[in-house]
Structure 1
Amino acid sequence: MAANGPLRSLDERIELRIVGHGPRSLTDLLADLGSREFALPVLVAAAWYTLRRDARTRRFEVLGAVLTMAAVPALVTPLKSLIDRQGPLTEAGGFYPSGHTATAMVAYCGAALLLGPYIGRRWAMPVALVLTLATGIGLVLRGYHWPLDVIGSWCLCGLLLLVNSSCTRRRSSRTPTG
């Protein structure tokens, strides 16, 4: 759908109207929120903190978050090659789905799922979703990705996080303290 479907022309019209808007330093920062250098340390810190607090009862949740993050390149890289969509400001292909968006969503939302019981469930996930949304906005405004590249990553990673959450919740409910 993103490479040749009916939404492609709408996607391209939107991108070409908004690319380059916003202060470059801000849009660069927002786009960088999805890089491994920014996002992975957040997930690692959340996993470390969770294991330090409740290693015995929450180790499967930490393992689930780590495996979900490991699934991102395992899924995104082949999809990029298979779909081979050209980027907004380049002739090169392999832009769908957005790896930076996928990394941001899984890292930040995974960290929110792990840290929620300690820092407050009411604001942990909204903060993670704002960081993920900001990453997508930065990538589109900088011209690194089409809007559908970002939306496709949100859908893919939403499914990954849903599977992770349901599997780890089911597993942790079998523990003596669960």
Structure 2
Amino acid sequence: MRTDEKLDQMEERPTDRARPPQMTRTRLWLFGGTLAVYAAIVVGVLATSWLVTFDWQVMFFRPYKQWPSIHAFLDYFVVLGQRGPTAVAVAAWLGWRCWRQRNLHPLLVLGASLLLLNITVGAAKLGMSRLGPHYATTVGSNEMWLGGDIFPSGHTANAVVTWGVLAYLATTPLRRRTLSVIAALGALGVGMTTVYLGTHWVSDVLLGWAAGLLVLLAMPWLEPGIIWVEDRLMGILLRLWLRLRPDSLRGPLPADALAPGLSRQRIAPDGEVLVREAIGAAPRSAARAPDGWPHHPARPHTSRSERTPVTPAGSRRPPHADRVPRTTPLSPASGRGRNTSG
């Protein structure tokens, strides 16, 4: 398959990659409101307000003893909030989407969101060092700065981000709304399960929901960096592919099509990268015109007056087997026959 035919197929290939969400005014208001809720929860716990009192009341209630029949099921259900299993499951699905779309954007979005989540939630955990219900020392205290790492809830925040990324990458409004509801219900269930098992305070879960939502709302700010990394990685992958499989692209590219050491992109109006071409190939004989037909370079032509005249040799009439040439003399018999017929 020639290079131009391969590129035409890549350009015509339908893609389900949606335009990345923009940081709209509504999203900014949601981000600011969630950030205010995040700060209010932290202040409430630090001030040992009614929120801490409610934490202790739920802990003394011991939900896992009130409903022991669902304990075994919730032990497995809480895995939906663990970073390792959920990241592997979602990465497998997004990896298939990357292969289908021929780009790395879904996996890079997942990686960027998990990186931002680990930085923000990890810093908060280590900064406030709160102990969990099973290790509480003083009844009624907020258990802050005692060497713990449960505030905010990592399970809850991870469930919000990992499953929320699927809704963030949805290609249609209906899919986005459906996946958003599913992700919200999953994160709600994981958070309440940690409270049921006694591994987190209620305030831990509330802060985990806010922390995960802040990461999702901040993702449009990371999109330019994600696209920049994607372009570089795609260029590297294509160069490696051409080195390993040099026969996969038989038709070389034009000599003046690409600059040395760079890659060329064909970008649609919505910013989607449709085709990335590797460089370093030799010139090809014919390029393609916009209408798809091969276009050959112009050749020098001479005018009719500059051409050398050529004298035709022999008769221009085609030879016939039953016709006698004029140079042959007629016989007397043939002459008498012609006179008789006349």
TM-score by length of 1: 0.82
Distance in 2 of aligned mates of 1:37 and 1:81: 20
Distance in 1 of aligned mates of 2:214 and 2:98: 25
Pairing 1:19–2:63 present? yes
Name the aligned partner's letter for residue 17 of structure 1.
F
Quickly say closer, same or farther: Cα 1:48–1:99, change in 2 above 3 A. Answer: same
Instruction: Please provide the CA RMSD for this pair.
Output: 2.7
Which deviations, in whole Å up to 9, do the C-alpha atoms of 1:20-51 show, x marking residues without a partner? Answer: 14321122123222112431123202321321
Larger proportion of helix: 1
Aligned with residue 164 of structure 2, among 109, 121, 144: 109
Shift of 1:4: 4.2
Shift of 1:18: 4.8
Aligned with residue 81 of structure 1, among 126, 138, 141: 126
Quickly say closer, same or farther: Cα 1:15–1:30, change in 2 above 3 A. Answer: farther
For the 8 Å contact 1:42–1:107, the answer to whether it is kept is no
Quickly say closer, same or farther: Cα 1:82–1:167, change in 2 above 3 A. Answer: closer
Shift of 1:74: 1.9
Shift of 1:109: 0.8
Quickly say closer, same or farther: Cα 1:24–1:107, change in 2 above 3 A. Answer: same
Distance in 1 of aligned mates of 2:155 and 2:90: 15
Shift of 1:127: 1.3
Distance in 1 of aligned mates of 2:177 and 2:123: 35
Shift of 1:78: 2.2
The match for 2:88 is 41
The number of residues matched between the two structures is 174
Quickly say closer, same or farther: Cα 1:145–1:42, change in 2 above 3 A. Answer: same
Shift of 1:131: 1.4
Distance in 2 of aligned mates of 1:10 and 1:122: 33
Q: What does residue range 144-159 of structure 1 map to in structure 2 within 5 Å? A: 144-159=199-214
For the 8 Å contact 1:31–1:137, the answer to whether it is kept is no
The match for 1:94 is 149
Quickly say closer, same or farther: Cα 1:62–1:12, change in 2 above 3 A. Answer: same
Aligned with residue 109 of structure 2, among 37, 49, 64: 64
Identity of aligned residues (%): 23
For the 8 Å contact 1:81–1:94, the answer to whether it is kept is yes
Name the aligned partner's letter for residue 8 of structure 1.
V
Q: What does residue range 3-14 of structure 1 map to in structure 2 within 5 Å? A: 3-6=46-49, 7-14=51-58
Shift of 1:120: 2.6
SS of corresponding position for 1:154: helix
Name the aligned partner's letter for residue 213 of structure 2.
G
Shift of 1:61: 4.9
TM-score by length of 2: 0.45
For the 8 Å contact 1:3–1:85, the answer to whether it is kept is no
Pairing 1:32–2:79 present? yes
Shift of 1:52: 1.9
Distance in 1 of aligned mates of 2:272 and 2:88: 28
Deviates more, 1:150-159 or 1:42-51: 42-51
The match for 1:174 is 271
- Show structure 2 runs of 5+ residues with no match: 1-41, 137-146, 228-269, 275-342
The match for 1:127 is 182
Shift of 1:174: 2.9
CA radius of gyration, larger in: 2
- Show structure 1 runs of 5+ residues with no match: none
Distance in 1 of aligned mates of 2:223 and 2:60: 42
